[in-house]
Structure 1
Amino acid sequence: RALIEEADVSVIQATPPTWRLLLGAGWEGGARIKAMCGGEPMPRDLAEALIARTGSLWNVYGPTETTVWCSAQRVDAPTSPLPIGRPLPFCAMRVLGPGGLPAPFGVVGEIAVAGPSVARGYRGRPELSAEVFVPDVVDPASPMYRSGDQGRWRPDGTLECLGRADGQVKIRGFRVELGEVEAALRAHPDVDDAAVLLEDDGASATLVAHVAGETLDVGALAAHAAERLPSYMRPSRWSLQAELPLGPTGKIDRRALEARQHAPVTAITRRAAPRDDTEAVIAGIWAEALNIPRVGVTDDFFAVGGHSLAAAHIVDGLRAAFSVEVPLGALFEARTVEKLAETLRTEDGRAPCELVTLAHGRGTPIFCICGVQVYHPLASRLGGDRPVYGVYLAQEESILREAREGRAASLSVGAMAEAYTDVIRRRQPRGPYSLAGLSFGGVLAYEIAQRLRDGGEEVALLALFDTVIPSGLRRAPLKWARAHLRAIRRAPLEEAKRAFRRARGGDETEMVAGVRERAYVAAMRRYQPRTYDGEVLLFRAAESSFGEGWVATRDGGLGPYAPRMRVFDVPGRHVGMMHPPHVDTLAAKLRRFAAPV
């Protein structure tokens, strides 16, 4: 908010949840601002609020597979549903009826996108690619992507998007296959059947699990889901039933389940109720941020669907309610309303929280660098008798805050490593030390290890998870040439100029999405690694992608500086390797080197 106001920003693009955060922070807008909303359907109340605060509001649409926006519609008066407009230049949009042929005006069909913006397919998933990346029904020489969204042409030539055609939904910008969540729940031995539905009240979307069985416990089901699913795929509400309603064909009657969505859920009453005003206020803030009816004082933040955006919302709520600045680290460490309330009572919420316990033990610790939540699934699977800590710096909160404001923080690998080293040595004054880090956290762990060894200490474990420095990225000439020649052939002169600039190596940061990631990339570019003669373990994600036309070297660029590097392949993508099911493979490989010291 502060950056927008200070810099006199005139164009802002964000998803509906991000717009709501901005409005909740008291942003008043301005007549010069052009607002764009996309990524998820724009609720009518949000459209009304943005129209009142901006000079113009645009509803934009476009799947990731088509290089983002494909259509746009100015919104002057909210309707339901809001049209997504007409195709943008050099992008063709279709509505496919039965048989995959273009549907007439007003007839509902599947939205498809054709033209040079369409991707070639999903890396390493040829069967799925063949299903959705097909020749254009109008121009077979052009690629077309079948989005799975339902839509129809309106009489004025604009397009309406009417939701998903299959079991795929969006939760906080992540695509979720409901069938995957249901399969994970059915794997529980006490579950006879399960169906998962999306609940969207216009403010945010959550998953509701309807589970059938004789002896079911919500706590056990939530723990089961946490072991197998990333946080954004875990249900936020549970409905326990003797059996699920079936239709005439014997399939689950989802319409009947939808009618039960808002019925009282008896499982919720098992949650421990607040015992005083402090706990009651905190529980209310959590429930609002997580978009669930109520929160028990002993519910684990991650188990009930907690994520970084919700955490930021909770911190804002605690600031307003108690007039204190609660570090995100304190929330991650407490993880329950009960413990967070105790923190507020005894420490006024301002005590530094630098080490977040991810797993308990009596041996020497394993320190996970830069981030907390992402390491939780791995820590819970390592076993043994070693504590695992997520090292959390106050600077990380500043980075997150600046990213939320649209600013990329100016970071130094050396300065951050020095601060992390101080925290680690306060907890463990002498070696041997064990360090681990994902991506940019791996670069920091590498530099921390250098500093510990410079001080005469032993580093017994240095594990890097899919860490790649800029020198470890290479062009994939054939892949790059095909994509860009196609764009040059079809695009106007201005697009050809942009393609030429990219060919000369400009704008490498386009490979990394997000403001925080850009700050990390800039810091890595300024960083000059030193030779490290200890053992380095690099666990590579087999399906990582670093942008169109880029691939990573096997050693991630650190090989020339780490002659004793050992490289291990782990299935999954960059962050996906840290979540089920791939994290099981990662834990098994790492466990060989993480025996108690």
Structure 2
Amino acid sequence: MSNPDDIAARLCGIASGIIGTTLSPEDDFYDAGGTYLFAVKLVGEARKANLTGVTVELVQKHRTLAAVARHLAQPAEAGAGARPQTMQELWEGAGSTWQEPLAETVVPLIEGEGTPFFCAHWGTGNIEFLSRFAAAASFDRPLYGIRSGPIARRERPLLSVRERAARHLAEIRRIQPHGPYLLGGLCSGGLLALELADLLVADGERVAEVALINSVPATAPHSFDPGWGLDDLYRFRMAWMRRNFKITNPAQAAEIIMPQIREADWCDRSTPDTDWGWLQLAWAALALSQVHHQMRRYDGHAAVFQQPDPADDPRNSWAPWLGEYDEYHYATGDTYEVVQQESFWPDLRKALDAAMARESA
């Protein structure tokens, strides 16, 4: 790379535009108004300007752009450890969604009697863990989990909620060719469940219930810039994970983080450490589809499972987007805690039974 003064001057020009104030090379990035998200933007803009090697961790560690530039100007140390794969490398190494045989994304979790309940994954794409809680609660309907394609195998992710729904729908209809259907979703999976319902209704099928489990509409506020692409979100995820798990050596990220996220059910217990980078890409793709999702009104019946009065901000409210719906309230706003609440599974059973009774009336 060129000399450190050149690098620092170019970084200052980029950072000044992001923060909205003029930075000099020796100014502390954060004292000058920089934030974590500004650092992520700086990394993205630096890469576009062919300033490779800039990371959020470097900015956090060195704080001044002169110090970052001096680090970048140093020759790389031999044997410094394996660098994380770039998004492009992961993407190019993955197969197509439509590569035969297609991955199985709708998987049986619990056996039972009656009309099955199809539940879509949360923001990390996995759903297998739900079987433990359903079994412990003696849930007695057949329960199928809908997992993300890139969680089922290393396939390139679909980048819209509608596309993802259409892909899963073909599998759902092989299991249950016709309605009435019982659908649901955990957290951001609620958006996927609503798209599945909309596709089924458009095809002339009956949807008895859509269960929105600690979900919010896509209009809810979030911290992502809608201008970010997949690579921006991938790098954001990598940086966020390292910061929150206090990783100082990126080469050790997988061995430190993976046991913890397996324990927290952010991925299936069988997921190997080598999938660390791939998971970040899969999660980034899910975030991208959610950030750009445009809500459409659903007039079928729904059930909402959430904290009471979550809609201090009207953008969090389901009222503009749903027709008739029942509400079930819990003291927690954490999805993982909701599905472990003693009252949740009886509430879900009550909602699904009532939905099927309406269909029979």
Using structure 1 for the length normalisation, give the TM-score. 0.32
Verify the 8 A CA contact 2:105 2:148 in the aligned structure 1: yes
Verify the 8 A CA contact 1:474 1:553 in the aligned structure 2: no
Separation (CA, whole Å) in 1 of partners of 2:346 and 2:314? 21
Verify the 8 A CA contact 2:226 2:292 in the aligned structure 1: no
Structure with the higher helix share, 1 or 2: 2
CA offsets 1:260-313 (integer angstroms, 9 cap, x no match):
xxxxxxxxxxxxxxxxxxxxxxxxxxxxxxxxxxxxxxxxxxxxxxxxxxxxxx
Match of 1:53 among 67, 70, 80: 80
Match of 1:522 in 2: 288
Separation (CA, whole Å) in 1 of partners of 2:130 and 2:324? 25
SS in structure 1 at match of 2:343? helix
Matched, 1:356 2:107: yes
What one-letter code is carried by the residue in structure 2 that aligns with 1:53?
A
Alpha-carbon spacing, 1:542–1:393, altered in 2? closer, same or farther (3 Å): same
Matched, 1:590 2:348: yes
Matched, 1:422 2:182: no
SS in structure 2 at match of 1:472? coil
CA offsets 1:418-465 (integer angstroms, 9 cap, x no match):
111111111100111001101221100001001111111111120011
Matched, 1:10 2:53: yes
Matched, 1:391 2:146: yes
SS in structure 1 at match of 2:297? coil
What one-letter code is carried by the residue in structure 2 that aligns with 1:562?
L
Match of 1:369 in 2: 120
SS in structure 2 at match of 1:537? strand
Larger RCO of the pair (alpha carbons < 8 Å, separation 6+): 2
Separation (CA, whole Å) in 1 of partners of 2:147 and 2:226? 35
SS in structure 1 at match of 2:209? strand
Match of 2:299 in 1: 533
What one-letter code is carried by the residue in structure 2 that aligns with 1:443?
L
SS in structure 1 at match of 2:351? coil
Verify the 8 A CA contact 2:300 2:322 in the aligned structure 1: yes
Verify the 8 A CA contact 1:472 1:558 in the aligned structure 2: no
Alpha-carbon spacing, 1:533–1:378, altered in 2? closer, same or farther (3 Å): farther
Separation (CA, whole Å) in 1 of partners of 2:140 and 2:335? 26
What one-letter code is carried by the residue in structure 2 that aligns with 1:10?
G
SS in structure 2 at match of 1:53? coil
TM-fit CA distance, 1:392: 3.3
Separation (CA, whole Å) in 1 of partners of 2:202 and 2:185? 20
TM-fit CA distance, 1:554: 6.9
Verify the 8 A CA contact 1:366 1:433 in the aligned structure 2: yes
SS in structure 1 at match of 2:219? helix
Match of 2:192 in 1: 444
Verify the 8 A CA contact 1:366 1:387 in the aligned structure 2: yes
Q: Which has the higher Rg, Structure 1 or Structure 2? A: 1
TM-fit CA distance, 1:517: 4.6
Match of 1:239 in 2: none
What one-letter code is carried by the residue in structure 1 that aligns with 2:135?
S
SS in structure 2 at match of 1:589? helix
SS in structure 2 at match of 1:527? coil
TM-fit CA distance, 1:381: 4.8
Separation (CA, whole Å) in 1 of partners of 2:51 and 2:131? 40
What one-letter code is carried by the residue in structure 1 that aligns with 2:178?
R
CA offsets 1:370-391 (integer angstroms, 9 cap, x no match):
3322422442255454210112
TM-fit CA distance, 1:595: 2.4
TM-fit CA distance, 1:468: 1.9
Verify the 8 A CA contact 2:219 2:315 in the aligned structure 1: no
SS in structure 2 at match of 1:473? coil
Verify the 8 A CA contact 1:382 1:591 in the aligned structure 2: no
Match of 1:574 in 2: 334
Greater CA drift, 363-372 or 421-430? 363-372
CA offsets 1:301-331 (integer angstroms, 9 cap, x no match):
xxxxxxxxxxxxxxxxxxxxxxxx9xxxxxx
Alpha-carbon spacing, 1:517–1:566, altered in 2? closer, same or farther (3 Å): farther
Verify the 8 A CA contact 2:187 2:213 in the aligned structure 1: yes
Match of 1:380 among 124, 135, 144: 135
Separation (CA, whole Å) in 2 of partners of 1:552 and 1:376? 33
What one-letter code is carried by the residue in structure 2 that aligns with 1:524?
Q
Separation (CA, whole Å) in 2 of partners of 1:523 and 1:11? 26
Flag structure 2 segments of 5+ consecutive residues without an equivalent.
Answer: 1-49, 58-73, 84-94, 96-100, 242-279, 357-361
Match of 1:433 in 2: 181
TM-fit CA distance, 1:12: 6.5
What one-letter code is carried by the residue in structure 1 that aligns with 2:80?
R
CA offsets 1:383-411 (integer angstroms, 9 cap, x no match):
45421011235344467x87xxxxxx561
What one-letter code is carried by the residue in structure 1 that aligns with 2:343?
T
Identity over aligned pairs, percent? 25
Runs of 4+ in 1 over 6 A off after TM superposition: 504-507, 509-512
Separation (CA, whole Å) in 2 of partners of 1:362 and 1:395? 30
CA offsets 1:481-515 (integer angstroms, 9 cap, x no match):
xxxxxxxxxxxxxxxxxxxxx9x9998x8899664
Structure with the higher strand share, 1 or 2: 1
What one-letter code is carried by the residue in structure 2 that aligns with 1:522?
L
Using structure 2 for the length normalisation, give the TM-score. 0.51
Alpha-carbon spacing, 1:542–1:9, altered in 2? closer, same or farther (3 Å): farther
TM-fit CA distance, 1:352: 4.2
Separation (CA, whole Å) in 2 of partners of 1:364 and 1:351? 25
Match of 2:322 in 1: 562
Greater CA drift, 464-473 or 426-435? 464-473
What one-letter code is carried by the residue in structure 2 that aligns with 1:567?
E
TM-fit CA distance, 1:367: 0.5
Alignment of 1:297-308 (within 5 A): none
Separation (CA, whole Å) in 2 of partners of 1:357 and 1:379? 12
Alignment of 1:315-330 (within 5 A): none
SS in structure 1 at match of 2:320? helix
Match of 1:458 in 2: 206
Separation (CA, whole Å) in 1 of partners of 2:51 and 2:222? 38
What one-letter code is carried by the residue in structure 2 that aligns with 1:425?
R
